Chain A
Amino acid sequence: MRSDPADYKLVAPGRLEAVLSLLAEEREEWVPIAGGTDVMVQFAAGKLASRQLVSIWNLRELKGIAVASEEVRIGAACTYTEIRQSDVIAREFPLLATAAQWTGGIANQNRGTLGGNIINASPAADSLPALMAYEAEVILVSIRGERRMPYVGFHTGYKTMQLRRDELLKTICIPHRFDGYTQYARKVGARNAQAISKVCIAAVGRISGGVIEDVRIALGSVAAVPLRLTEVERTVQGNPVGPEIIARVPRMVAAAIQPIDDIRSTARYRTAVASNLVVEFLDKLRASESTP
């Protein structure tokens, strides 16, 4: 263990307003900790920059999955296990349930949270492509009130995001928009479980009469932030899925992503696999029409 617990403050006020007051403090910075599956790893490695932590685990306002008429609202401190257990997410947003199943083992799913996945903002985070594909919106809260924004613009660069110093991620909202869509997600890692992804895809689409009516494709681990492949989406939209479109995919994908060589994989590999997975999705989309 490469940190000294005696050097760290951790408080658990138990109420959202108290937490927000701390986050608003000018003098010193307080960093929220939910389930700790990212923060505690950094702590044990001696790499946790902040010395003051405020626990948001089990804050009532950050828990729960609520079904409203236009959207489903997921509390940021919902764990992957809670997401996996949710009927509405299984039914309407299966890609998110799948991503939750990918993340770590059961013990880590019991503690890791969706909000933590977003705020830790690892380029390889498993849930983020699904949130992008589902056109999620996020609600951020501070002592100044709440604000809401599309998730797609939330991440601005490697571990930088549209989160102000005094803000906490409160809710993730996903619209009831994807009923009947073909849904596809795949994670490629070094092994079948407990793997940081090398490439990760989440995609939804609707096809009618052989023509793509609507499509959203998101990738993780191929750039500093999760990406929507808007160019690919624009190109395939309104077109039949045929060899001509498929042939253009590799170049389009390569142009859209910025993968790197790192300790886990190579840029060339990531590019090729990303392309393969997009093609696999389009094939699945085409096949979905013939399958009842």
Chain B
Amino acid sequence: MSDFSEHADAEQRDVERPAKCELSFTVNGTSRTVLVHPMERLLDVLRHELQLTDAKEGCGEGECGSCSVLLDKQLVNSCLVPALQAEGANIITIAGLTDGAQLSTLQKAFLECGGAQCGICTPGMLLSARHLLDRTPLPTLDEIREGLAGNLCRCTGYMQIFEAVSRAAKEENARRRTGA
């Protein structure tokens, strides 16, 4: 039997619907202000309010990591962050780690080693790799595996991603030593 009584409160609730709020944060170096509901997911704020589509939705439950962003330098799954909690934060997506025409060492390594196939996991994977290398400049294979375990890739079987991260780590370290 159809029973629509659970919607009985809907009309009432419509009157009391919580208002949107104005939130400001920095995204990829630029100050942005949005008018959103506080429970809107940061992922949706980025993609819909700000039209920054490089963070992707793969699962909506924090398993696949394709929505990963850096929030105040910490890797987080943006599908699990409510907008209100990102207020005042410094948010970086992969676009923010891209310096115009210049590809970073990590991005180049991914291209050379075959770390990106279909590319949908790649923005999140690159941010996770960046997060790892910022804390562990010369990671072992096991440390790479652990660092990337929150990013699912269905195409590569991970081998060439590990290679890319390893190569980038060595190059970055070499450059650091020579002060380049």
Contact = CB atoms under 8 A, between A and B. Distances in A.
Contacts of B37: 5-6, 8
B109 interface: no
Interface stretch (B24-32, B75-83, B100-108, B161-169): B75-83
A55 B85 CA distance: 8
A7 interface: yes
A104 B150 contact: yes
Contacts of A108: 62, 77, 80, 150
A99 interface: no
A19 to B, nearest CB: 14
Contacts, number: 109
Interface stretch (A40-48, A155-163, A219-227, A258-266): A40-48
Interface of B: 13, 17-18, 36-41, 44, 60-63, 65, 68, 74-77, 79-82, 84-85, 87, 128, 131-132, 146-151
Most buried by B among A36, A55, A106: A106
Interface string A1-36: 101011111111000000000000000000001011
Interface string A28-66: 000001011100110111000000010101000000000
Interface of A: 1, 3, 5-12, 33, 35-37, 40-41, 43-45, 53, 55, 57, 81, 104-108, 110-111, 192-194
B85 A7 contact: no
A7 B14 CA distance: 9
B18 A55 contact: no
B128 A107 contact: yes
A182 B138 CA distance: 32
Contacts of B81: 36, 40, 111
Contacts of B80: 35-37, 40-41, 108, 111
10 nearest CB pairs, A to B: A105-B150, A193-B149, A10-B38, A5-B37, A8-B39, A40-B80, A5-B39, A5-B40, A110-B74, A9-B18
A8 B82 CA distance: 11
Nearest to B75: A107
Most buried by A among B13, B75, B77: B77
Nearest to A101: B146
